[in-house]
Amino acid sequence: MKRLGLLYLAAQNLRRKPFRSFVTIAIVGLAAGTLFSATLLIGSVDRSLEVGMERLGADLLVVPAGYQESGQAALITGAPTSFYMDAGILNQVKNITGVNQASPQLFIESMVSSQCCTGHVQLVGYDPGSDFVVSPWLKDNLQRSLNQNEVVIGSLILANKGEQVHFYGHSFDVAGVLDATGMGVDESVFMSLDTAYLMAQESAQVAESPLDVKPGQISSVLVKKSPDTNVDQLTQRIKTNVPGTTIITANELSRSVTDRISGFKRGFIAVDAIVWIMSLLTIAAIFSMIVNERQREIGLLRAMGSSRRFVFRLMLAEAVFLTAAGGIAGIFVGGAALFIFKAIITSSLGIPYLWPPLLTFVKLMVITMLLSIVSGAVASLYPALSSSRLEPYAAIRQGE
Amino acid sequence: MIVLKDLSKTYKVGPSTVRAVDKVDLEIPRGQMVSIVGHSGSGKTTLLSLMGGLTKPSSGRVIIDDINIWTLSDKEISKLRNEKIGFSFQFASLFPTLNALDNVRLPTTFSGGQPTDHNRAIELLKLVGLEDRIYSYPGQLSGGEQRRVALARTLMKEPRLILADEPTGDLDEDTEADILDILKRINGEGVTIVLVTHSRAVASQAQRALRMHRGLLSEESE
């Protein structure tokens, strides 16, 4: 035998006007979905930046003058690029006061037809002796450095550990797959500098399209500053002492991403605020209508022995049911929309993306749900209070 | 026992004041069946609402079982209505999303509900002749059937006082007779019944007849 409790009555009441209930759920769902998906997107970008920058491990990058934007794009989204400068620059950088560590990298765009990948991927040659990007990972996960025909790949490269990938006529064994960062690293293939030079050298014989990269060329120098050095001062020193280069600082990278999503953030805040206000007003209007329509019933409930508090709670429960349903719908639809359109959004905004850990995901769901429920309770507060204050006899007569 | 002392209810209608109930004094002993007749607008329904604590008097007292009900808190007066008073209205007063059984059980919602409520509700639906319509929704019931369900609901909490406003209005003769028969049976069990009616035939079923005229109450025999 089912219990005729307050929640049951509230649920039954909502069945009366399914279209009205649906519209209320849809409006709250829109507000909740916008909040959920946009917060998730922003949080994922932030997380990606955090993880990606940690993986990069450098305070700044020295690249040839004129390649600041393509260097940033390669690091943030993995957009393949290739530019070169003389390896002698490495020593110039190393000798600058305030430089703690400096390590060269060589960028090579793969050919479109590479077996593992759709489109170009970024091949990155690193110096095992000085590297602080891949080597710490190798130390933790492989307990050795890479052999000549081995590579470590980013998480989005379609190959598994132990499989082979092929670039410029060379086959490489995949020694490991790096953890996802949401940044360019995920779409990069790392090999030692010597291997990269060898691949370039032999490409003339074995590749369809030979590489024009010679030993003694590098693409960037990753720099770790000394603990007591100011990044801006160090940047200035490098600019002065190493002409023909430009500097990308880690802060600039972060700022570049932040700038790209700042417009989106502003737009989101404005749109979501409008949608939430609209949903609050709609709920308030709908519940005022409900109270008017159901005056006689409220009077009857009071005549049967319901207290004012019960009537108040009944109205609140109806509102909370609707807004909770809206919250759930918003979370699922918003989450699904983000999942489906993530690639389009991130490529059009040029931002990195890394799904948050499960706990963050759950927290965001709970916050969205709570906000939806509180909105329902707040918006229906006045109508609920009015209904509870109706004099039973007057309510019954006015409902006639 | 119900005692009304110097009971008045006035309304403001524009600049003037309408005395719907005017200094009414009345005592109804326990177990009596009383009818109140009068023209439309004479104040019968307002008086019934005052007796049941559905509207607050402008002055005077309503005393049920030695308790002046308007000294009680909302919670207490709600409990009193739930446990001691059954209302029957002149309109179909069922909740459309609840079936007949749940409509009858509804008053138990406010007192926590008991496992026996289900069986009692079915017994009451049998009493009003609707044992085959237990799971029907109000929209599937005729007007007469809806009134029977409403009567069953009135009896659900075994009230000691039933306040019935035109309990047989708009009903066919058979249904009217059935409902009056049930009310008389309940009255025979010691339940006090006050029924407001236009119908002299219905009024004649009561042990005592009162007349309401312009807010003033008098014994019908006077």
Tell me which chain B residues have a C-beta less than 8 angstroms from the C-beta of A297. Answer: 95
- Segment holding A365, helix H or strand E: helix A358-379
CB-based contact A305 B157, cutoff 8 Å: yes
What is this structure's pTM? Answer: 0.76
Q: What are phi and psi of A225, to 5 degrees?
A: -85, 160
CB-based contact B110 A304, cutoff 8 Å: yes
CB-based contact B81 A305, cutoff 8 Å: yes
Whole-angstrom Cα distance, residue B100 to residue B118?
Answer: 12
Nearest CB among B49, B97, B113 relative to A3 is that of: B113
The distance of A369 to chain B (nearest Cα, Å) reads: 28
* pLDDT surpasses 50 at A185: yes
Please write the tens of the pLDDT for every residue from A3-33.
788 899 999 888 888 999 999 999 999 999 9
Q: Which two tokens stand for residue A115?
A: 């077996």
Identify the bridge partners of residue B63 per DSSP, sorted by sequence position: B3, B68
3-state secondary structure of B130: coil
Nearest CB among B89, B91, B102 relative to A4 is that of: B102
Burial of A169 (0-12, 13-18, 19+ CB in 10 A): middle
Whole-angstrom Cα distance, residue B89 to residue B45?
Answer: 10
Please write the tens of the pLDDT for every residue from A43-65.
888 888 777 777 777 888 899 99
The distance of B106 to chain A (nearest Cα, Å) reads: 7
* pLDDT surpasses 50 at B222: no
Q: Which two tokens stand for residue B190?
A: 């010691």
Q: What ipTM goes with this model?
A: 0.92
* pLDDT surpasses 80 at A400: no
Tokens 């009561």 correspond to: B206
Please write the tens of the pLDDT for every residue from B55-74.
999 999 999 999 999 999 99
Identify the bridge partners of residue A248 per DSSP, sorted by sequence position: A61
Please write the tens of the pLDDT for every residue from B33-43.
999 999 888 99
What DSSP string runs through A166-217?
EETTEEEEEEEEPPP-SSGGGGEEEEEHHHHHHHHHHHHHH-SS-----TTE
Tell me which chain A residues have a C-beta less than 8 angstroms from the C-beta of B89. Answer: 300, 396
Cβ atoms within 10 Å, residue A309: 12
Cβ–Cβ < 8 Å for A389, A308: yes
The distance of B209 to chain A (nearest Cα, Å) reads: 24
Residues in CB range of B146: below 8 A, 6 or more apart = B92, B94, B138
Tell me which chain B residues have a C-beta less than 8 angstroms from the C-beta of A298. Answer: none
**Mean of the per-residue pLDDT values for chain B?**
91
- Segment holding A51, helix H or strand E: helix A18-56
Tell me which chain B residues have a C-beta less than 8 angstroms from the C-beta of A388. Answer: none
The distance of B78 to chain A (nearest Cα, Å) reads: 4
Cβ–Cβ < 8 Å for A300, A399: no
Cβ atoms within 10 Å, residue B177: 13
* pLDDT surpasses 90 at A159: no
Residues in CB range of B44: below 8 A, 6 or more apart = B36, B37, B38, B165, B196, B212
**What pLDDT score does B54 carry?**
93
* pLDDT surpasses 60 at A329: yes
Please write the tens of the pLDDT for every residue from A261-281.
788 888 888 888 898 898 889
Of B166, B131, B137, nearest in space to B152 by CA: B131
Cβ–Cβ < 8 Å for A129, A143: no
What letter represents residue B181's amino acid? D
A177 or A143, which is more confident?
A177
Q: Which two tokens stand for residue A289?
A: 């209508």
Please write the tens of the pLDDT for every residue from B172-202.
888 888 888 999 999 999 999 999 988 888 8
Nearest CB among A4, A305, A308 relative to B79 is that of: A305
Please write the tens of the pLDDT for every residue from A295-320.
899 999 999 999 999 999 999 999 99
Q: Which two tokens stand for residue A267?
A: 């737009």
CB-based contact B97 A16, cutoff 8 Å: yes
Cβ–Cβ < 8 Å for A231, A185: no
Q: Max Cα separation, chain B?
A: 54
Residues in CB range of A257: below 8 A, 6 or more apart = A45, A49, A76, A351, A352
Identify the bridge partners of residue B164 per DSSP, sorted by sequence position: B88, B195
Of A80, A104, A108, nearest in space to A91 by CA: A104
Tell me which chain B residues have a C-beta less than 8 angstroms from the C-beta of A400. Answer: 91
* pLDDT surpasses 60 at A114: no
Please write the tens of the pLDDT for every residue from B117-132.
899 999 999 999 999 9
Q: Hey, of A9, A20, A301, A304, which one would you mutate to test binding to chain B, going by the most B CBs within 10 A of its CB? A: A304
Whole-angstrom Cα distance, residue A105 to residue A107?
Answer: 7
Q: Hey, of B47, B110, B158, which one would you mutate to test binding to chain A, going by the most A CBs within 10 A of its CB? A: B110
Whole-angstrom Cα distance, residue B81 to residue A102?
Answer: 85
Tell me which chain A residues have a C-beta less than 8 angstroms from the C-beta of B109. Answer: 4-6, 9, 306
